């Protein structure tokens, strides 16, 4: 606690939970103190001058005609220069550490898409969508190395408590690493704008002890099809667009979806039966619903067998039947 | 622009030989087809103010929406369109043209003692391109809007079903408007300075406009090319930016910021120029460190081409490249700091009028200092990784763009309003609105710095509950800002119909613009000015006990030459 107080005495940053916080927070505090000092200095001199030398009668001449002072100008050029160079070197050092991944880091992968994260933990098959987890679990003190890919557009993985952020770029493998230092559950955000569900790409990071980690808490597959369907609903990211209340977020609400009638852009009518739902997932462009602007109707991404298995879709349908 | 005419007709200067530029011709076409830099400046002023009002209303909608964590007003997709349009309106239609094209157009030739800009037809063409660009922007909104953010990052901007193409075309056209203005000003400054006015006898506003114009001419074509490539990508899938066709989405960011970082200085340099003039006149003192300020404008312009990568610290650039960009970013902060210190030193020991323009200028210095200092946080590599794409960045660039450039624009409007229209607004109301805006700005954006530090990402239509209190305070601040701007619009418009007659030299300025009749003639000066005296020499003025400023006959900057 004293260490935290030293690093971030003004309480501006989230609770620190990785080794990077030890680098970032003192520099942030240093800059805050410097900023407050210079801001106060400028404000005081500015306000003092404006009041002290205010024009009391319209023809008042200026008190001073000084327009140049070499000493003053050299001083106020050199002091910021020195502070800026210190800041540059300090920031660079912290960043170099973020680039060099320790050899003993555990290998994770994550695939991002509109709008979900699929984390594959060490030891899982990264090609099996059923073992993908929407939350990230890591063991305290053990470095984590995440290889990140995107299925569609730019995303960015951001964990404020760890002070890490890295863009996820389609066509490129990006690497992010960190070493968690505090047990707890932390927010995980998408920080690069990616469309309608951008603000819904927020999940949790769980830092657990070795014993809990060994039990693989991320693998938690329910026994019933309905239970599994509900899990896939969050894990595959359906949750970002299809709400379970009456309020539309992006796509059709799932509340009462089973056998609900509607109309397609082609003019045909449909009912939301198993075939319709399956086809909406596998080939969404083939049956856009009427009455919504194109930029919404076309927002549904296509899911292949490698991204969502047929069994998972069966589970989803079983679960949808229960949504009244 | 006909509403003000009655007030003008009753306001001829006692000594004026010719009718003012407002009276010399009448009717719609005398404005729509005018080649007079002052009328074009006024038309721009009306245009950019309209854009500012649209962008401002969108900002209020954004702030209202974020009152609750689930979002109060819109579906997510609509929210994304609203913040995109807010950005497009404010950046491309308002801030970039605001000071150069409206105040610059009006004031620059006056300061140079010139009858007009060098290329009046190009000047008018620039205005109409701006108008076409604005119409295309509105067209894009009607035909499906845009939801990419004002940065148009690929591949999202290629995939989205919204009107990216027509919006891209709008930006392409607006770019040419900007280039035309810049080119015109460069030529004007080189060729049309008054006799006796060497480069270092130019007011600092002219230096700032010069540096800005160079940036506009050199950087804007890159934006044009980028938007064109984006359009090709959209239509033909040529695979430059889209990874699905072997392209590189990061390349788009390089192209985009190669323009858009210098564009940040296209926005702020003219603002610094305005502040330099306002601070000098209202302190009745020459600017402190004139040459240092002039050179810092030029060095900012040069270095600004070399720092674009600091927008991309999290995109996976090489460590060496990041180091270089971070270093250069720190360098650009030095001339910026020098300017702030120089303004404060100018006020020190002056005869400081706490007039409405000066209150806006002081607000500018306060908020610009906040913007500059928080910029250093973002230039430091390790800290930026945490702050990148959070509300800290949002608050930082609003401090620089809105709190600084927009405030300088309003400082300039209040400063040259009597020169432009020959009337004065209600200064008591103007001071109230300046204070409201200063308070409103800080209530809006200080909580945003805080929540950004705590990790609130930007461009979020919904958010986690812990940030709600900051969002709510911020929304209250935005309402205060809204009241301040509405009040300003009210008293400025009121002054056109019922304002008191402005004095010939309302504030006691000594640069050549204050040697013109108020309002100026069609060709600005009664007689061709020759600059014999010093720059910013306030001893040239006789000030009466009631504040009436007149030039001493025997000792004038503009010794009047015989009319050729």
Query: Tokens in use for B490?
Result: 């009210």
The reply to whether A74 touches chain B by the CB within 8 Å rule is no
CB atoms within 10 A of CB A48: 13
Is the predicted pLDDT of residue B334 greater than 60, yes or no? yes
Is the predicted pLDDT of residue A214 greater than 60, yes or no? yes
Please classify residue B142 by burial: count the beta carbons closer than 10 Å to its beta carbon, then call 0-12 exposed, 13-18 middle and 19+ buried: exposed
- Give residue A292's pLDDT: 73
Query: Tokens in use for A44?
Result: 């005081």
Is the predicted pLDDT of residue B551 greater than 90, yes or no? no
pLDDT tens string B279-301: 999 999 999 989 888 888 888 88
Question: Which of A95-109, B146-160, B495-509 is least confident?
Answer: B146-160
- Across the interface, of A174, A191, A298, the residue whose CB is closest to B457 is A191
Query: Could B155 and A46 be called an inter-chain contact, meaning their C-beta atoms sit closer than 8 Å?
Result: no
Chain B nearest CA to A71, separation (Å): 12
Chain A nearest CA to B190, separation (Å): 27
Kind and range of the H or E run holding B423: strand B423-424
The reply to whether A49 touches chain B by the CB within 8 Å rule is yes
Is the predicted pLDDT of residue A145 greater than 90, yes or no? yes
Which distant-in-sequence residues (6+ apart) come within 8 Å of B548 by Cβ?
B503
Query: Tokens in use for A241?
Result: 């667009």
pLDDT tens string B222-232: 999 999 998 88
Return the residue in B321, B350, B377 with the most chain A beta carbons within 10 A, the one to mutate for interface testing: B350
Give the pLDDT band (50/70/90) at residue B124: very high
What gap in Å lies between CA B540 and CA B459, rounded to an integer? 54
Give the pLDDT band (50/70/90) at residue A1: very low
Question: Which of B164-178, B369-383, B540-554 is least confident?
Answer: B540-554
The ipTM of this complex is: 0.90
Give the pLDDT band (50/70/90) at residue B423: very high
- Give residue B318's pLDDT: 87
The reply to whether B120 touches chain A by the CB within 8 Å rule is no
pLDDT tens string B244-270: 888 899 999 999 999 899 999 999 999
Is the predicted pLDDT of residue B533 greater than 90, yes or no? no
**Cα radius of gyration (chain B):** 23
What gap in Å lies between CA B502 and CA B499, rounded to an integer? 8
Query: Could A80 and B373 be called an inter-chain contact, meaning their C-beta atoms sit closer than 8 Å?
Result: no
Looking at domain B2-560, its CATH architecture is Up-down Bundle (1.20)
Give the pLDDT band (50/70/90) at residue B403: very high
**Residue B316 near residue A172 (C-beta atoms within 8 A):** yes
Nearest CA in chain A to B362: A46
pLDDT tens string B469-525: 999 999 999 999 999 999 999 999 999 999 999 998 999 999 999 999 989 999 998
What gap in Å lies between CA B518 and CA B516, rounded to an integer? 6
pLDDT tens string A172-200: 999 999 999 999 999 999 999 998 889 98
Give the pLDDT band (50/70/90) at residue B11: very low
Chain A nearest CA to B462, separation (Å): 6
Positive or negative, the Cα torsion across B298, B302, B305, B308?
negative
Question: Which of B180-189, B260-269, B392-401, B451-460 is least confident?
Answer: B260-269
- Across the interface, of A38, A76, A163, the residue whose CB is closest to B385 is A163
CA proximity to A62, closest of B345, B289, B294, B292: B345
Which distant-in-sequence residues (6+ apart) come within 8 Å of A46 by Cβ?
B344, B347, B362, B365, B366
- Percent of residues, chain A, with pLDDT higher than 90: 53
The reply to whether A156 touches chain B by the CB within 8 Å rule is yes
Give the pLDDT band (50/70/90) at residue A7: low
The reply to whether B72 touches chain A by the CB within 8 Å rule is no
Nearest CA in chain B to A92: B381
Which distant-in-sequence residues (6+ apart) come within 8 Å of A65 by Cβ?
B285, B286, B349
Query: Could B338 and A77 be called an inter-chain contact, meaning their C-beta atoms sit closer than 8 Å?
Result: yes
The reply to whether B73 touches chain A by the CB within 8 Å rule is no
DSSP of B502-562, one letter per residue? Answer: PPTTSS---SGGGGS-SSPBTTB-SS-EEE-S-TT-GGGEEE-TT--EEE-TTS-SEEEPP
Give the pLDDT band (50/70/90) at residue A295: low
DSSP at B500:
E
Chain A nearest CA to B474, separation (Å): 17
Report the pLDDT averaged over residues B13-29: 80
Put simply, the chain A residues between 82 and 141 with a CB less than 8 A from any chain B CB are: 84-85, 87-88, 90-99
Question: Which of A10-14, A205-209, B72-76 is least confident?
Answer: A10-14
Q: Which residues of B touch A154 (CB under 8 A)?
A: 153, 155-156, 249
Query: Could A53 and B348 be called an inter-chain contact, meaning their C-beta atoms sit closer than 8 Å?
Result: yes
Residue B25 sits at φ, ψ, to 5 deg, of: -135, 165
Query: Could A49 and B156 be called an inter-chain contact, meaning their C-beta atoms sit closer than 8 Å?
Result: no
Report the pLDDT averaged over residues A235-252: 83
Give the pLDDT band (50/70/90) at residue B553: low
Query: Could A35 and B376 be called an inter-chain contact, meaning their C-beta atoms sit closer than 8 Å?
Result: yes
The reply to whether A167 touches chain B by the CB within 8 Å rule is yes
Report the pLDDT averaged over residues A149-153: 92
Query: Tokens in use for B417?
Result: 């309003």
- Give residue A126's pLDDT: 83
Query: Could A91 and B383 be called an inter-chain contact, meaning their C-beta atoms sit closer than 8 Å?
Result: yes
The reply to whether B30 touches chain A by the CB within 8 Å rule is no
Query: Could A67 and B289 be called an inter-chain contact, meaning their C-beta atoms sit closer than 8 Å?
Result: yes
Which distant-in-sequence residues (6+ apart) come within 8 Å of A91 by Cβ?
A27, B326, B379, B380, B381, B382, B383, B384
Which distant-in-sequence residues (6+ apart) come within 8 Å of A60 by Cβ?
B351
Chain A nearest CA to B384, separation (Å): 9
Helix axes B249-283 and B204-236, enclosed angle (nearest 10):
160
Please classify residue A264 by burial: count the beta carbons closer than 10 Å to its beta carbon, then call 0-12 exposed, 13-18 middle and 19+ buried: middle
Query: Could B369 and A90 be called an inter-chain contact, meaning their C-beta atoms sit closer than 8 Å?
Result: no
CA atoms within 13 A on the CB side of A187: 21
**Residue A322 near residue A253 (C-beta atoms within 8 A):** no
pLDDT tens string A223-235: 899 999 998 898 8
Query: Could A294 and B370 be called an inter-chain contact, meaning their C-beta atoms sit closer than 8 Å?
Result: no
Chain B nearest CA to A49, separation (Å): 5
Query: Tokens in use for B204?
Result: 């600092």
Is the predicted pLDDT of residue B459 greater than 60, yes or no? yes
- Give residue B1's pLDDT: 36
For chain B, what are the domain ranges? 2-560
Residue B378 sits at φ, ψ, to 5 deg, of: -80, -20
Nearest CA in chain A to B279: A50
Q: Please, what is the average pLDDT of chain B?
A: 90
Query: Could B350 and A62 be called an inter-chain contact, meaning their C-beta atoms sit closer than 8 Å?
Result: yes
Positive or negative, the Cα torsion across B301, B303, B306, B312?
negative
The reply to whether B352 touches chain A by the CB within 8 Å rule is yes
Residue keyed to tokens 């300003």: B488
What gap in Å lies between CA B436 and CA A24, rounded to an integer? 36
- Across the interface, of B250, B283, B386, the residue whose CB is closest to A165 is B386
Positive or negative, the Cα torsion across B429, B431, B432, B434?
positive
Please classify residue B236 by burial: count the beta carbons closer than 10 Å to its beta carbon, then call 0-12 exposed, 13-18 middle and 19+ buried: exposed
Query: Could B382 and A63 be called an inter-chain contact, meaning their C-beta atoms sit closer than 8 Å?
Result: no
The reply to whether B314 touches chain A by the CB within 8 Å rule is yes
Q: Which residues of B touch A205 (CB under 8 A)?
A: none
Is the predicted pLDDT of residue B558 greater than 80, yes or no? no
Give the pLDDT band (50/70/90) at residue B215: very high
Q: How many CB pairs under 8 A join A and B?
A: 293
What gap in Å lies between CA B296 and CA B336, rounded to an integer? 7
Q: Which residues of A touch B351 (CB under 8 A)?
A: 53, 55, 60-63
| Three-state secondary structure string covering chain A | CHHHHHHCCCCCCCCCCEHHHHHHHHHHHHHHHHHHHHHHHHHHHHHHHHHHCECCCCCCCCCCCCCCCHHHHHHHHHHHHHHHHHHHHHHHHHHHHHHCCCCCCEEEEEEEECCEEEEECCCCCCCCHHHCECCEEEECCCCEEEEEEECCCCEEEEEHHHCEEEEECCCCCEEEEECECCCEEEEEEECCCCCCCHHHCCEEEEEECHHHHHCCCCCCCCCCHHHHHHHHHHHCCHHHCCCCCCCCCCCCCCCCCCCCEEEECCCCEEECCHHHHHHHHHCHHHHCECCCCHHHHCCCCCCCCCCCCHHHHHHHHHHHCCCC
Q: Which residues of A touch B330 (CB under 8 A)?
A: 84-85, 87-88
**Cα radius of gyration (chain A):** 27
Q: Which residues of B touch A73 (CB under 8 A)?
A: 289, 292, 338
The reply to whether B19 touches chain A by the CB within 8 Å rule is no
Q: Which residues of A touch B289 (CB under 8 A)?
A: 67-68, 73
SS3 B20: strand
The reply to whether A222 touches chain B by the CB within 8 Å rule is no
Q: What is Dmax (Cα atoms) for chain A?
A: 89
- Percent of residues, chain B, with pLDDT higher than 70: 95
Put simply, the chain B residues between 149 and 208 with a CB less than 8 A from any chain A CB are: 149, 153, 155-156, 159-162
């Amino acid at each position: 606690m004293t260490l935290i107080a030293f690093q971030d005495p003004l309480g501006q940053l989230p609770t620190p939970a990785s080794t990077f916080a030890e680098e970032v927070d003192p520099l942030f505090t240093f800059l805050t103190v410097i900023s407050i000092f210079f801001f106060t200095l400028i404000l005081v001199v500015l306000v003092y001058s404006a009041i002290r030398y205010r024009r009391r009668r319209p023809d008042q001449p200026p008190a001073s005609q000084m327009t140049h002072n070499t000493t003053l100008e050299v001083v106020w050029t050199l002091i910021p220069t020195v502070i800026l160079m210190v800041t540059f070197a300090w920031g660079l050092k912290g960043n170099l550490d973020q680039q060099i991944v320790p050899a003993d880091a555990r290998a994770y992968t994550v695939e991002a898409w509109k709008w979900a994260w699929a984390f594959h933990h060490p030891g899982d098959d990264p090609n099996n969508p059923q073992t993908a987890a929407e939350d990230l679990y890591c063991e305290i003190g053990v470095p984590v190395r995440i290889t990140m890919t995107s299925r569609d557009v730019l995303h960015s993985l951001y964990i404020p408590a760890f002070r890490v952020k890295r863009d996820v770029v389609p066509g490129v493998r990006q690497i992010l690493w960190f070493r968690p230092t505090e047990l707890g559950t932390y927010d995980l955000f998408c920080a690069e704008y990616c469309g309608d569900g951008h603000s819904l790409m927020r999940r949790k990071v769980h830092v657990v002890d070795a014993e809990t980690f060994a039990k693989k808490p991320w693998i938690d597959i329910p026994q019933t099809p309905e239970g599994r369907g509900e899990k896939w609903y969050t894990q595959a990211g359906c949750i970002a667009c299809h709400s379970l209340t009456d309020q539309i977020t992006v796509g059709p609400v799932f509340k009462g979806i089973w056998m609900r009638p509607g109309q397609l852009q082609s003019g045909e009518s449909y009912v939301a039966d198993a075939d319709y739902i399956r086809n909406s997932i596998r080939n969404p462009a083939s049956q856009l619903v009427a009455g919504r602007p194109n930029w919404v109707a076309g927002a549904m991404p296509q899911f292949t067998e490698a991204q969502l298995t047929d069994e998972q879709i069966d589970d989803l349908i079983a679960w949808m039947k229960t949504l009244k | 622009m006909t509403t003000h005419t009655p007030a003008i007709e009753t306001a001829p200067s006692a000594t004026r030989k010719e009718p003012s530029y407002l009276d010399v011709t009448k009717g719609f076409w005398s404005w729509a087809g005018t080649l007079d830099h002052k009328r074009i400046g006024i038309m721009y002023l009306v245009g950019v103010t309209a854009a500012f009002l649209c962008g401002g209303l969108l900002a209020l909608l954004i702030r209202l929406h974020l009152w609750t964590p689930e979002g109060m007003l819109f579906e997510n997709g609509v929210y994304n369109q609203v913040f995109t349009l807010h950005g497009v309106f404010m950046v491309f239609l308002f801030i970039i043209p605001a000071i150069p094209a409206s105040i610059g157009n009006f004031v620059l030739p006056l300061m140079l003692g010139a009858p007009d800009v060098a290329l009046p037809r190009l000047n008018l063409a620039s205005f109409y391109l701006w108008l076409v660009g604005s119409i295309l922007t509105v067209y894009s909104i009607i035909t499906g809007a845009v939801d990419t953010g004002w940065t148009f990052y690929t591949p999202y901007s290629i995939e989205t079903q919204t009107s990216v193409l027509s919006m891209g075309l709008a930006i392409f056209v607006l770019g040419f408007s900007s280039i035309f203005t810049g080119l015109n000003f460069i030529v004007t400054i080189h060729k049309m300075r008054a006799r006796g006015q060497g480069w270092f006898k130019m007011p600092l506003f002219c230096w700032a406009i010069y540096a800005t114009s160079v940036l506009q001419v050199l950087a804007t074509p890159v934006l044009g090319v980028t938007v064109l490539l984006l359009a090709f990508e959209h239509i033909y899938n040529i695979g430059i930016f889209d990874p699905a066709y072997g392209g590189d989405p990061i390349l788009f960011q390089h192209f985009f910021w190669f323009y858009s970082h210098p564009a940040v200085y296209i926005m702020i340099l003219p603002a610094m120029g305005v502040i330099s003039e306002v601070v000098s006149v209202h302190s009745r003192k020459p600017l402190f460190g004139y040459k240092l300020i002039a050179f810092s404008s030029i060095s900012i312009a040069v270095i600004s081409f070399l720092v674009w990568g600091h927008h991309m610290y999290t995109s996976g650039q090489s460590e060496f490249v990041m180091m270089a960009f971070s270093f250069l970013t720190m360098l650009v902060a030095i001339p910026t700091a020098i300017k702030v210190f120089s303004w404060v030193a100018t006020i020190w020991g002056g005869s400081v009028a706490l007039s409405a323009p000066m209150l806006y200028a002081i607000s500018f210095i306060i908020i610009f200092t906040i913007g500059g200092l928080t910029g250093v946080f973002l230039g430091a590599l390790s800290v930026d990784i945490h702050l990148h794409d959070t509300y800290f960045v949002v608050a930082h660039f609003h401090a620089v763009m809105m709190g600084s450039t927009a405030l300088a624009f309003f400082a300039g409007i209040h400063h040259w309003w009597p020169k432009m229209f020959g009337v004065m607004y209600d200064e008591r109301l103007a001071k109230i609105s300046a204070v409201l805006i200063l308070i409103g700005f800080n209530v809006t954006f200080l909580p945003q710095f805080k929540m950004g530090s705590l990790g609130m990402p930007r461009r979020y239509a919904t958010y986690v509950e812990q940030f709600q209190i900051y969002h709510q305070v911020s929304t209250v601040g935005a309402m205060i800002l809204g009241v301040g701007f509405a009040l300003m619009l009210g008293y400025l418009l009121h002054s056109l119909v019922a304002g008191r007659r402005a004095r010939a030299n309302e504030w006691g300025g000594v640069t050549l613009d204050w040697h013109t009749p108020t309002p100026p003639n069609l060709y600005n000066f009664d007689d061709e000015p020759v600059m014999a005296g010093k720059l910013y020499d306030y001893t040239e003025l006789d000030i009466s006990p009631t504040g009436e400023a007149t030039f001493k006959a025997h000792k004038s900057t503009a010794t009047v030459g015989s009319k050729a």
